[in-house]
Structure 1
Amino acid sequence: MNTLYVSDLDGTLLGDNAIISSFSKKILYELLNEGLQFTVASARSVVSMQVILKGLNLRLPIIEFNGAFISDLDSGRHEIINSICPSIVESIYKLILEFGCIPFVSTFNGTEDCVYYKDVINDGMHWHINDRLTSKDRRLRAVEDLTLSFSDRVVCLTAIDRAQQLLELQGAIIERHETSVETHLMENQYSPGWYWLTIHDRKATKGQAIRSLVENYGLQESEIVVFGDQINDIKMFKIANHAIAVANADAELKRYATLLIGSNTEDSVVKYIHQDWSNRYAFKSDFDIG
C-alpha cells in the first residue's frame, strides 16, 4: 500500500525559528526524488510557504489557510477555494468591530491573493505587519474601508488580540454562525502573549482538504500519515490512518494521536518519515525480489 504523508508546518515540521532545517530539507529533497508522496497542511498562505519550502519538488498541491485553499506550490494557483458566504462575512465583521478588534481580511480577487488591513491597533498586529513586510509579501493592501474587500472571495478573517478578548469574540461568532464557519484560536508562538482568532468557511479544514487530495489525485488506496501540534490539526488527525503528534503538541491534540514523537526542534517529523519510508521501501523491494 502506498503512503501519503501530510505535515503541519509551524511547531511541527519547522523549528522555533520558523525555518525548516537544512537536515530536514536535504532528507525530504532526496525522498521526494525517490517518489515520496508528501505535502503540507498549514494555516499559512502559499506565499509564505513558497519561501519556506523553496527547492523542494512537491508534486502534490499544498493545503493553505487551514484548507481554505488547495494550491500548487510553485505557481500559487488555487485548485480548490473554500470561501465564506458574503452575508456571513458582513455579520462576522460587525461582531469583530463590536469587540474592539479590527481584522485582517484575506481574499482571492479572481486574479491574485490579497490581505486587506486598516488600523493597526496593538503590538500583535504590528508584529504581523512587520513580518509580512520583511518577507515582501505582495498580498498586503492598506485600505480606508475594509468592507471594500468583501467584493472579493473572502477566505479568512483574522483578529489579533489578547486571549480573553478573542475567547469572548469566538464564543459570540460560534453562537451565531456555528454551522457555517470554522474558528481557531491560538497563540502566536513567535509573538508570545498575542493570540490569533481565524474564521474560515466550514468546509475549510485540513481533514476535508486531505480528503479532496485523496479523491482528486488517485490516492484512494494510500495510507494517510499526518503530523501536527495544534488544535487546528484535530480534524486531519481524525481522518488519518496514523496521526502523529510532536512532543511539543497541544495536550488536546495529543488525545487524538496514535503516536507521539520528538519535538519540532529535533527534526522529528522528517526522521520519522525517513525511517518509515525506508522500512516500507525495503519491505517492498524484498517482496518484489521474492
Structure 2
Amino acid sequence: MEKPALVASDIDGTILGTNEQVSSHTADVVGRVLANGIPFVLVSGRPPRWMPRIANAVGATGYAVCANGAVLYDVAEDRVIWQRGLSPVRLGDLGSALATAIPGSAVAAERVGARASDIESFIAEEEYRHAWPDGHDVASRAEVLGYPAVKLLVRHQGMTSGEMAAAATAVLGDEFAITYSTNAGLIEVSERGVTKATGLADVAERLGVAAADVIAFGDMPNDIPMLQWVGHGVAMANGHPELLEVADEVTGTNDENGVAQVLERWF
C-alpha cells in the first residue's frame, strides 16, 4: 500500500513483547508515525483501564478501541466515548445457552465506567480462573450476569479456546460475537455485530480516513475482522494460523519488532 493514513495495532502478542513491554525500537518508530501526523490507534480486547500504560509507552494520545470493539476510549481525556454492551437480559440468555454449549465452564463479566480511572468491577464466579495473572471480585453467576457488561469471558481449563468457540457457535450461531485472544481455554463474547473492525471503522470515520488507507496489525482470531476490513492487514509471525490465512502480509514476531519492521517502510 501507499503510506497509510491511519495505523491500528493490537496489543498483546503484537506491539507488546513476551516480556509484556513495548520495545524502545518499536516506541521510536511509533513516535515517527505520530510525528508525521498519522493517527496511531490501539485496538485491543483489553478494557480501558489497561490503556493508559500502553498508550504512554508509545506516546499515543488519541482513540483506543477496547474490549474487542465494544468500547471507544479517548486516551488524552481519559473518557469513554461510547460502549456497546450486553444487557442483563442478553447476559441471562447467554448464560443459559453456555450451560448447554460448554458444561462446566465458569464466567466473568467486564464492566466499564465513564473513565479508565473509574475502575469498574471485573467480576467472576468463584470457579473462574484467569488465563493471565490478575485479580477479580467473586460473586454468584446471577450477580455476574445481572448487570450490563461490555463482554462476558467464559473459561474452561479442560478445553482449548478454539474448541470452546466452536461449541459456543454451534449453539449460539451469530446471535452473539464470539472470539478469543488466547488459546488457553478462554472465549470472549460481545453483543452481536461488535468486533474490532466495527470499533476501528468508527474511529476511521471520525478521522475522515477510508478503510483502504488503514494498516492494521494483529496476532489472534479476534483480529481477523479488523485485518479483513483495512486496506492492508498484517499478521505477526507468532500469530494464530486462522489469522495468517487472511492477512495480506506476515511480518516478524512481536519479539522481533514486527510492527516496526513494516512501519519503517514509510516512517
| Superposition TM-score tier, normalisation by shorter sequence | 0.7 to 0.9
Structure (1 or 2) with the larger CA radius of gyration: 1
Contact 1:9 1:41 in 2 (8 A): yes
Assess, with a 3 A threshold, how the Cα gap between structure 1 residues 16 and 269 changes in structure 2: closer, same or farther: same
Consecutive unaligned residues in structure 1, runs of 5 or more: 134-139, 189-193, 278-290
Across the aligned residues of Structure 1 and Structure 2, the Cα RMSD in angstroms comes to 2.6
Match of 2:51 among 49, 52, 60: 49
Hey, what does 1:288 align to over in structure 2?
none
For the 8 Å contact 1:116–1:146, the answer to whether it is kept is no
Secondary structure class of the residue paired with 1:31: helix
Rounded Cα–Cα distance in structure 1 between residues aligned with 2:229 and 2:257: 24
Task: Give the AA of the match of 1:204.
Answer: V
SS at match of 1:63: strand
SS at match of 1:260: strand
Match for residue 101 of structure 1? 105
SS in 1 for 2:22: coil
* In 2: Cα distance, 1:110 partner to 1:23 partner: 33
Shift in alpha-carbon separation, 1:251–1:171, aligned structure 2, 3 A: closer
* CA drift at 1:197: 1.1
Change (3 A) 1:91 1:81: same
Q: SS at 2:37's partner residue?
A: coil
Match of 2:88 in 1: 86
Matches within 5 A, 1:229-248: 229-248=219-238
**What letter matches 1:5 in structure 2?**
V
Counterparts in 2 of 1:109 and 1:261: CA distance versus 1, 3 Å: closer
1:62 is displaced (CA, Å) by 0.5
Q: Greater CA deviation, 205-214 or 160-169? A: 160-169
- Does the alignment pair 1:177 with 2:181? no
* Paired residue secondary structure (1:237): helix
Residue 32 of structure 1 corresponds to 34
Between stretches 53-62 and 227-236, larger displacement belongs to: 53-62
1:141 counterpart residue number: 137
Q: How does 1:56-75 map to 2 (within 5 A)?
A: 56-75=58-77
TM-score by length of 2: 0.85
Cα distance in structure 1, aligned partners of 2:142 and 2:171: 20
The separation in 2 between residues aligned to 1:4 and 1:176, in whole angstroms, is 37
How much does 1:105 deviate?
0.9
Question: Could you tell me which amino acid in structure 1 is paired with residue 236 of structure 2?
Answer: V
Q: Count how many residue pairs are aligned between Structure 1 and Structure 2.
A: 260
Distance 1:199 1:221, change over 3 A: closer
Distance 1:126 1:79 in 2: 28
Whichever residue aligns with residue 200 of structure 1, its letter is: S
Q: What residue ranges of structure 2 are gaps of 5+ in the alignment?
A: none
2:159 aligns with 164
Aligned residue for 1:209, secondary structure, equals helix
Superposition TM-score, scaled by structure 1 size: 0.79
User: How much does 1:27 deviate?
Assistant: 2.8
Structure 2 letter corresponding to 1:208: T
Local SS of the residue matching 2:121? strand
Secondary structure of the 1:276 match is coil
Aligned partners of 2:171 and 2:61: how far apart in 1? 40
> Do 1:107 and 1:149's aligned partners in 2 also have CA atoms closer than 8 Å?
no
**Residues 55/71 of structure 1: CA separation in 2 closer, same or farther (3 Å cut):** same
Percent identity, aligned pairs only?
21
The answer to whether the 8 A contact 1:92-1:173 is kept is no
- Quote the residue 2:214 is aligned against: 224
Deviation at 1:6, TM superposition (A): 0.5
Please give the alpha-carbon distance, in whole angstroms, between the structure 2 residues aligned to 1:30 and 1:116: 39
Q: Deviations over 1:108-148 (max 9, x none)?
A: 36674321123045xxx1554xx234xxxxxx4333x3423
Q: Is the contact made by 1:96 and 1:103 (CA closer than 8 Å) also made in structure 2?
A: no
1:171-215 alpha-carbon deviations (Å, 9 max, x no partner): 453244323211124535xxxxx3211111123201111111112
